[in-house]
Amino acid sequence: MILGIDLGTTFCAVATTEPDGRARVLPNALGEVTTPSCVYFESASDAIVGVLARSSAAHDPDNAVTLIKRRMGTEYPLEFHGVAHTPESVSGVLLRSLVADAGVALRAPRDERARAVITVPAYFGLREREATQQAALLAGIEVLELVSEPVAAALHYGISDGTSRRVLVYDLGGGTFDCTVLRVGPDGVHVVATDGDSQLGGADVDQRVADLMLSALTDVTPPEVDPREDEGLVQEVLATAEAFKRALSSRTSHAVTLRYCGASTTVTLDRARLDELTEDLVQRTVVILDRLLTAASPHAITEVVLVGGSSRMPVVAETLHRRLGLTPRLVEPELAVALGAAVRADQLTREPAPPAIGGSSDLTIGSQAVSVLPRSVGVLVRDSADPAGLREFVHHVLSRNTSLPASATVPFATILDGQRRVRIQVFEQAGAVPSEELPHNRRVLDGELTGLPELRAGSRIDVTLHVGGDGRLAVTAREPGSGRSLELEAYIEGVIDADLGEQLATGAGGLTIRH
């Protein structure tokens, strides 16, 4: 099975290509083209995925997981019915379910392995991409490539025809926001710059609407009753809020009746009120967009493409039209990423020599493609100018939006006389804007250069950082005098260690998954 998988924050989709090269979405077991990204652990050995999982979460929220994509790349231990889980293992359950449904839709043998291109937000850094790779491995998927969601959408929209232009892909999904500028020309498509927020999406809009509904319900219930304390009700209202938001994308006003503890109320909301409720969220995307356009200057945007279900909100297109003077294109925003991933999977499996398994080249459209580094990467150093000798900061060696592949070598110095080992810690920008302050970065690699001769303080250590077109980070530290060196590489083992990975694989493999 050759698949394109959109592993979304709130909804997932799977697509494949026909023999003629056209991509089509594969329905799940319920005949739907998208599957809610919700997993409910019914017992230690049984999990439910999708619509039924979401409804089960309403009466037993402690054993349900939603929005797990926002936790990818973080240490976020979970436990259900005495069994340990992580964001990787939960995502692995989701992926197993998606692949099983695809197999049924394609009438493939039950034991046929899936080969897939899996999409990730463009703003995902090394750790999030590693986590996604691990989730796929836990699900038994052979990963052809991890491709950025805006790039996949570009493939679906067919912007790789060689006509020279600059395209803005504005991707407002269920839980993450990305915006990317692509330069299209006769030599292929290049990612010029990318930016985003992994904690901003349609789920935040749903929460605003749900809060309004719960406030209205609280007003009509007895004082001793607080609807917000009923977690099952809160989950039901959130689902209602999502449907409410979708309705207001195609109509100007909508109403819903809520009931609780014998009380009822009707909430009516028009599009103007929804825009008011979510104005600050849309403005957050504008701030990121302005930052992106500054990074991508000086050339003007000539085309805007909308991706992600939440981009259907009319206020999004209106805001972009005011800001850029362009009318955005909106075609199947919920499915564009999966369809584009399927096109990419077809490209890779038709080519004579696909890239290495697990790669993340981000873009190969037309004759040439160049991606960019989504986050700045650097080395932790001790501040020699600090009188106390305690301050540490991150010296960014490679800056975000640097074209890939990229390499840079920076000389550092030892800090103690007689030093025979040097610890090399590589950090990645964690916040929206690069900062040298340690709390604003996160460690991605750690190792020690040992066996050095007794060095004087101030002895030179050369550190080289290389990020390939596949998103893999390689680090070399070398002491010129002795020639001793240390080599580290990320994007292989991932966030969880081998022992935990084996434990999770065993647990996930024993799960029975149903819809």
Listed as ranges, residues in the chain with pLDDT below 70 are 160-162, 188, 351-370, 470, 490-510, 515
* pLDDT at residue 181, as a whole number: 92
pTM of the model: 0.81
**Domain 202-277, CATH homologous superfamily name and number:** ATPase, substrate binding domain, subdomain 4 (3.90.640.10)
Residue labelled with tokens 């498509």: 189
The CATH T-level fold of domain 377-489 is: Substrate Binding Domain Of DNAk; Chain A, domain 1 (2.60.34)
Rounded to an integer, what distance in angstroms lies between the CA atom of residue 381 and that of residue 268?
57
pLDDT of residue 160: 62
pLDDT value at position 505? 57
DSSP class of residue 289?
Answer: H
What pLDDT is recorded for position 407?
Answer: 94
Torsion of CA 251, 253, 259, 265, to 10 degrees: -170
pLDDT computed for residue 361 by the predictor? 42
Q: Where are the domains of the chain?
A: 2-200+284-360+501-510, 202-277, 377-489
Query: CA-CA distance, 39 to 468, in Å (whole number)?
Result: 34
Quickly count helices (H) and strands (E) in the chain. 11, 28
pLDDT digits (tens, 9 = 90+) for 422-438: 899 999 998 888 999 99
pLDDT tens by residue, 42-68: 999 999 999 999 888 878 889 999 999
Contact assessment for residue 417 and residue 452, using Cβ atoms and an 8 Å cutoff: no
CB 376 within 8 A of CB 194: no
Report the CATH number of the 2-200+284-360+501-510 domain. Answer: 3.30.420.40
The amino acid sitting at 305 is V
pLDDT of amino acid 351: 57
Give the C-alpha separation, 477 to 469, whole Å.
21
Report the length, in residues, of the chain: 515
